[in-house]
Structure 1
């Protein structure tokens, strides 16, 4: 490592010999501390890299800047710290515990409101040493500063417009503890701070023109920050509305599908009922036709369907009545036998009533039976006259002559 000369160092960091004398440190002691840190730099770099890997997993982290102090910056920090704390003993054995920004990490979110998420993650994952400081502008709204105090941060107003939230965390991967300085500021605050640091702070320039332009740029950065917050909020609102619309569309589509299913079920039910009624009617027709064929095969007759009982003719035709009136009277025994025979024949020929599938009786026409009543033939015996002039049946005993009184 090339050691910077004292004169060059004082000129670069806008210091003078009186400032160095006030620290009660000579420049050689400062160079020895710087050399000791250079020998330990690799270990510090490994610790810092491990912390960065953890921070990158936090929600809302857009970018991270990480650095280990170089030799010149370390000497400048030692002088500044000793000027602020003249009573503290600063040497090779104490500088690591006293200087908190040997490892510096800056977390950059896009929007200022994302700070709260990062803050919660830092407090949850690391041990925070000392106070958490929120650097704010005089122009910052009360709502902004209240968000910091609600999280336990101490407010510190910066007249030049510098803004950030500063933490010092502790990590101990081994027996030795390391301190890490962590800053959180959004992308607009980071842009202004880098420009201001390069133009004014680094070279300790106190120019009225630079100061005014820096303040103007700070206001523009603040306006851009507020515009970014508005866009961020509008984006969240539009996403919520789009999600709501998609949920409603999904609900409508599900209801349409359910309606189509109900329509299909209704149509299927109607078709089933129609098919059932049609099959039932065809089955009844087939049964009737089979019965008709069976009846025809038995006696050559037919079985007409749905013939009312009142239509069956049971009275004799006029011609039959006339023939019956003219028929001679038979003897009592023959007449009984003839009537019984006719009745028995009628009963045998009367078809049985046929029931269909629905158990509704069908009227069946009775086969008309004509009772034949033929005129009995009467054998006429010859009639002869006897000697006395009287008629008689042959072979009958002759009549006795009548006795007349003389």
Structure 2
């Protein structure tokens, strides 16, 4: 953490080209004001993040919950990386808390794909949503007509991701003080999807986003993750049938069709 935000030191650490920065039209002095204001909020955000986790960790379908409060330097880097997008919104110390939606990020992990529905219901019961939940899916994962029909009652928007990103995103608003409130992003995904996402992020950023070899093998890994989630769902179904003392020849045929 810097005692102050030194421009040259900051650009060097985050590999920011000064010509690029100048092209964004952002004002460095305004970024320093945002940085200093945000530093004063971080400890409060940490407490609120813990409070959110305490509410979600007790949900029966939840495997684990992770939290992340954005570091002050990473906030400034994000604003600069977004560049013109944030400049066009006239980002400033007065409004950055309305524009940057992930000052607090919450990651909710579950074991089986169908556990998501229960977690979804808990989230909408606990908080008022600020936008329609986004269900990110990989092209080819589902018969989209059937999938849309199956979640029609949940009022979600389906986003098809070519690179295989899978996660459900929620945006909620919480009060930090009487006069300060912020947006919080909650992501819900399976443990397999989390593993792929973390590895994908490490391999792609910051310099290998378009590397064709890395992209190809991450795509293979992504399909394996999708199959692993299907296998988990299938095994859950098998256990339920065993518990009910039912024969499972139909399940065996289903497994053979899915994974042969």
TM-score scaled by structure 1? 0.55
Choose the corresponding residue for 1:161, options 157, 160, 164: 164
Residues 2-401 of structure 1: matches in 2 within 5 Å? 2=2, 3=5, 5-11=9-15, 16-142=17-143, 143-172=146-175, 174-175=177-178, 176-203=180-207, 205-241=209-245
Q: State the aligned residue count.
A: 239
Residue of structure 2 in register with 1:400 after alignment: none
For residues 102-144 of structure 1, give each alpha carbon's deviation from its aligned partner in whole angstroms, at most 9, with x where no partner exists.
Answer: 0000000001110000000101111110121111111111244
Instruction: Give distance in 2, aligned partners of 1:61 and 1:33.
Output: 35
Q: Post-superposition shift, 1:26?
A: 3.4
Unaligned runs of 5+ residues in structure 2 are 247-260
Instruction: Give distance in 2, aligned partners of 1:111 and 1:135.
Output: 16
For residues 132-179 of structure 1, give each alpha carbon's deviation from its aligned partner in whole angstroms, at most 9, with x where no partner exists.
Answer: 111111111124444444311111111110010000112236423232
Instruction: Give distance in 1, aligned partners of 2:25 and 2:107.
Output: 32
SS in 1 for 2:121: helix
Residue of structure 2 in register with 1:306 after alignment: none
Structure having the higher Rg: 1
Moved over 4 A (4+): none
For residues 53-87 of structure 1, give each alpha carbon's deviation from its aligned partner in whole angstroms, at most 9, with x where no partner exists.
Answer: 01112120001110100123211221244433442
Instruction: Give distance in 1, aligned partners of 2:24 and 2:37.
Output: 20
Instruction: Give distance in 1, aligned partners of 2:198 and 2:80.
Output: 23
TM-score scaled by structure 2? 0.84
Q: Which has the higher contact order (CA 8 A, sep 6+)?
A: 2
RMSD: 2.1
SS in 1 for 2:135: strand
For residues 214-273 of structure 1, give each alpha carbon's deviation from its aligned partner in whole angstroms, at most 9, with x where no partner exists.
Answer: 11110111111111111111122222338xxxxxxxxxxxxxxxxxxxxxxxxxxxxxxx
Instruction: Give distance in 1, aligned partners of 2:12 and 2:37.
Output: 21
SS in 2 for 1:127: coil
Unaligned runs of 5+ residues in structure 1 are 243-406
